Structure 1
Amino acid sequence: MTGLMQRLWRQKKVTIGLAIVLAFVLIAVFAPLIAPYDPSARVGRPHEAPSAEHLLGTTRVGRDVLSQLVWGARTSLLVGFAGGIVITVIGTAVGLIGGYRGGRLDEVLDLATNVVLVIPNLPLLIMLAAFLGNAGIGAIVTIVALTSWPWGARVTRAQTLALRHREFVLAARLVGEPTWRIVGVEILPNLASIIGINLVGSIIYAVVAQVTLEYLGFGDPLGVSWGRMLYNAQNASAITVGAWWDIMTPCAAIALLGLGLALINFTLDEVANPQLRSGPALTRWLRLVDRRRRERKPA
């Protein structure tokens, strides 16, 4: 685990990604201090362009876009992190139990994983959200978690199947170690990078799923989130009337958060799979090209 953390901190991408994500987390935590206005209050003229008074302009009903962006970060990040954690916990538990125990239990869990895996996620999300009506944060987290855990379960199960026959696991069985200790102490630490990749990927998916559901009108109509901002901007025909800031602001926030999480995910993937590291190979290739260019120059 210590070696994994040391390799992570040597990567520049993870530093940039963590800085971006941490910035959004701080914005969400200190939203009452950062937001200049009440996000639900009418504080300006409809579709007022960005100015010194309203840095990111106003919406069709005169609400401050910056305040909505700051407060919306709370909802979107809460759904993203809560959904990502629940997805990872379910997927890891199913993969570990099935991969280690094997037999009939593994067959049942594998069948359940395959059944959920083949069902298209987005139509299922829309159907469940429509059934629940105006879904709140808890409902969206539950819907996302119940439909998105199989990907992590498949990867965790495959790795567990490979580890259960390793020498250190067999030795722990021979000395009579209990199952919970073998799984928790011998196998689980070796899955740290896989679980980290699943967690970050699940957070990205949960944020996108929440934004998608609210953009389609299945979220809380009284809530403030990036998806609700997009829904309101689309209903107000923001692009048609020239109020680009109304729709570009939440889009930019979603893209930037996704970039930060993706950089972290890429780094975890490179640490777990050294063959994916392109930095040293690219450097060697550039040096080779530069050397050949110098050799071709006339004396």
Structure 2
Amino acid sequence: MRTGLLGAGLVRGWKVRVGLSVIGFFVLLALLGPWLTASIPGLDPRANDLTAIGQPPSATHWLGTTQFGQDVLAQTIEGARGSLFVGFLSAVIGTALAILVGLPAGYFGGRTDAWLNFLSNLFIVMPVLPLILIVAGYMQGTGLWVIALIIGFFGWSGGARTIRAQAMSVSNRDFVLAMRTLGEPHHRLLFHEVLPHLTGWIAAMFLSGVIGGVMTEAGLAFLGISDSGAISWGTMIQAAQQQSAVLRGMWWWFVPPGLCIALVATAATLVNFGVDELANPKLRAVRRSVVRRTQGRAAETTVGSDV
């Protein structure tokens, strides 16, 4: 019942609707990108138009061209595929590792919690960014999927601590303790009783992982640690920086990929806020009280105007 109410609330929440619409648009763009660039003339992201080098937006090239004569719109469409691939894959890996470590640690406690919590703390105290830079630099040129694996592998520890704390709280509630006393199997309690109560936290963690994956990939590409043959929003910004696009006034080269990253981050944040409002009872209570006060004041204003 709780999951059903949460799902119904998600459909009605404007933040979730707006955020999912924006994310859905970019996901659709990433999926249809190869077909668009192949079927529409002039939208080849790797083609060089020597007659239009460094041109501003025009009827021929809607978002202009790069210093190498490549269409910026085509590269932005192709870049959505690369950046979202890294963001979603790294978020899936990081969220899965966080659940695998945090859920049993909070549920079983004891030695299991001690060992898994030690593992989480070990990754938390590690200098993650320098490690990502070293590993990604050592494996440079191996593709975006390796970048996603690296980001996901080093980005799960904070989420595991959150899952552990929430699982520990749910596992000590009366209904779970009663089912334990009745001899209910641990795997059923874990996946049918404890885990469904953590869906809000897991959804928020996943969306934060998507944002972190996209931003980290862009940062690595900006530092030159990425696959030079792949096209993503990060590699577009890195190429613009190398060719001094800012100093040369070629704003159309770096603004579209930067704006796309900002839109994806904003959309994921809106969905995150919406899920948190619906999953957190305190926020739901606050929102209902605000609505009641607003409706009461509106009713008083209407009555006063009628009198």
After TM superposition, the score normalised by the length of structure 2 is 0.89
**Separation in 1, partners of 2:60, 2:288:** 48
By how many angstroms is 1:208 displaced? 0.8
Q: Residue 225 of structure 2 corresponds to which residue in structure 1?
A: 218
Instruction: Output the amino acid matched with 1:165.
Output: N
Q: 1:272 and 1:77 mapped to 2: Cα distance?
A: 26
Q: Secondary structure at the match of 1:30?
A: helix
State the distance in 2 between where 1:198 and 1:89 align.
10
Please list the CA deviations of residues 222-249 of structure 1 after superposition, one character each: whole Å capped at 9, or x if unmatched: 1111010001000011111111010111
The one-letter code sitting in structure 2 at the alignment partner of 1:29 is: L
Q: Secondary structure at the match of 2:241?
A: helix
Contact residue 129 and residue 135 of structure 1 kept, 8 A: no
Q: Does the alignment pair 1:42 with 2:32? A: no
- Could you report, residue by residue, the CA deviation over 1:130-185 in whole angstroms, capped at 9, with x for unpaired residues? 22223422211111111110111011100111111222212222222221111111
Alignment correspondent of 1:155: 162
Match of 1:29 among 18, 31, 37: 31
Change over 3 Å in CA distance of 1:282–1:34 after alignment to 2: farther
- State the identity %: 38
Is contact 1:75–1:137 with CA below 8 Å preserved after alignment? yes
Say which SS state the counterpart of residue 246 (structure 2) adopts: coil
Q: CA deviation at 1:261?
A: 0.7
Distance (Å, rounded) in 2 between the aligned partners of 1:191 and 1:7: 16
Residue pairs, 1:68-217, within 5 angstroms: 68-217=75-224
1:17 aligned residue:
19
Distance of 2:294 and 2:238 partners within structure 1: 46
| Pairing 1:275–2:282 present | yes
Q: Distance in 2 between matches of 1:124 and 1:22?
A: 32
CA distance in 2, matches of 1:135, 1:258: 26
Segments of structure 1 that go 5 or more residues without pairing to the other structure are 294-299
Per the alignment, residue 296 of structure 1 pairs with: none
Structure 2 contact 76–256 (Cα < 8 Å) conserved? yes
Q: Distance in 1 between matches of 2:18 and 2:255?
A: 23
Aligned residues of 1:135 and 1:218 also touching (Cα < 8 A): no
Q: Which stretch of structure 1 is more off in the superposition, 265-274 or 278-287?
A: 278-287
Moved more, 58-67 or 7-16: 7-16
For residue 290 of structure 1, report the CA deviation from its aligned partner.
9.1
Is the contact made by 1:46 and 1:61 (CA closer than 8 Å) also made in structure 2?
yes
What displacement does 1:276 show? 3.7
Counterpart code for 2:273: F
> What amino acid maps onto 2:44 in structure 1?
D
- Deviation readout 1:269-288 (Å, 9 max, x if unpaired): 11122434675566677789
Deviation at 1:14, TM superposition (A): 0.4
Compared with structure 1, are the counterparts of its residues 285 and 230 closer, same or farther at alpha carbon in structure 2 (3 Å cutoff)?
Answer: farther
Instruction: Return closer, same or farther for 1:169/1:284 CA change in 2, 3 Å cut-off.
Output: closer
Residues 256/281 of structure 1: CA separation in 2 closer, same or farther (3 Å cut) = farther
Describe the shift of the 1:276–1:176 C-alpha distance in structure 2 as closer, same or farther (beyond 3 A): closer
Q: In structure 1, the residue corresponding to 2:226 is in which secondary structure?
A: coil
Q: TM-score, normalised on structure 1?
A: 0.92
Q: Aligned partners of 2:241 and 2:212: how far apart in 1?
A: 22
Matches of 2:33 and 2:254 in 1, distance apart?
A: 20
Query: How many residue pairs get matched?
Result: 298
